[in-house]
Structure 1
Amino acid sequence: MASRYAGHAMGLGEAMKVAGLGCRSGVPVHEVLAALTAALAEHGLVGSALGALATIPIRAQEPALQEAARLLSLPLTVPSAEDLQQAETLTHSSASLDATGLACASEAAAIAAVGRNGILLGPRLVIGNVTCAIAICKEGS
């Protein structure tokens, strides 16, 4: 899979937005969609505002994440391990650190997917067994 997503065509000044997702194995797609909807609403956004979904390598083949991407007609991107490690997260979860080696998988995936100049809109949101964080990057940043 590609390590970055260039985004859909955007107008000048429009920011690329990526939803980073973390989850437990076997999570149902409705939990993924609920977490996405809640995280977007938290920031006054709708699904059509997203350019991609992102996750970490160990979740890249998770059926619910792939199905959510398909239902939303968005690519599911997987940033490189190096980019994930360099991502600065707002949340520091010992459970995530133990399971993935990342302080927060969803935040790291979101920020790594938008690139070096990306920023998180806020800390990750937890809905059931899914975490979701939204990151943005201004075009040309």
Structure 2
Amino acid sequence: MERGETMIVAGIGCRKDCPAEDILALLREAMADAGIESIDLLASADLKANEAGLAQAAAALGLPLRLFSQPALEAVTASISMRSACVKRLTGLESVAEAAALAGAGFGARLIVPRIANARATCALAHGA
């Protein structure tokens, strides 16, 4: 990335054993919603470290996958637009997809696509410098 370019991060949340195809389909939908053709990073919560579908989706796209700790995701909670009581009960976080996108995009990040979902995954896009 050149100096001054915007970094676009896809934050992904998913159910246990979510297939890569579900993640990729949702990501394509989010990118179409934003009118973008590429992203720079996939991000999620470190509690998803053993999700093969998430790693496979990143590999299929040729993108790095960065996993964030609960404290790192909680640090951006004020900037998320959607909170889920179910996600909070299961993970201790109010958001995985939006928080991961914001954490991955760094200081001053903003959501460009708030959380969207299919049956097994969630996705949000954020950009930052």
The normalised TM-score by structure 1 is 0.85
**1:116 shift after superposition:** 2.2
Matched, 1:107 2:98: yes
Alignment correspondent of 1:78: 67
Letter of the 1:61 partner, please give it.
N
Aligned residue pair count = 127
Match of 1:60 among 49, 52, 68: 49
What is the root-mean-square deviation in Å for CA atoms of aligned residues?
1.1
Alignment correspondent of 1:35: 26
Q: Which whole-Å deviations, capped at 9, do the CAs of 1:49-88 have from their partners, x for residues lacking one?
A: 2111001011122000000000100011012322201112
Q: Which whole-Å deviations, capped at 9, do the CAs of 1:117-137 have from their partners, x for residues lacking one?
A: 111113201022100000100
3-state DSSP class of the match of 2:108?
coil
3-state DSSP class of the match of 1:123?
strand
**1:106 shift after superposition:** 0.5
**1:11 shift after superposition:** 2.8
User: Which consecutive unaligned segments of at least 5 residues does structure 2 have?
Assistant: none
3-state DSSP class of the match of 2:125?
strand
Alignment correspondent of 1:3: none
**1:35 shift after superposition:** 0.7
How far apart are the structure 2 equivalents of 1:92 and 1:100? 12
Q: Is the 8 A contact 1:90 1:122 kept in 2?
A: no
Match of 1:19 among 3, 10, 18: 10
Letter of the 2:42 partner, please give it.
L
The normalised TM-score by structure 2 is 0.93
**1:28 shift after superposition:** 1.3
How far apart are the structure 1 equivalents of 2:49 and 2:28? 20
User: Which consecutive unaligned segments of at least 5 residues does structure 1 have?
Assistant: 1-9
**Kindly, what percent of the aligned residue pairs are identical?**
37
Relative to its length, the structure with more strand (as a share) is 2
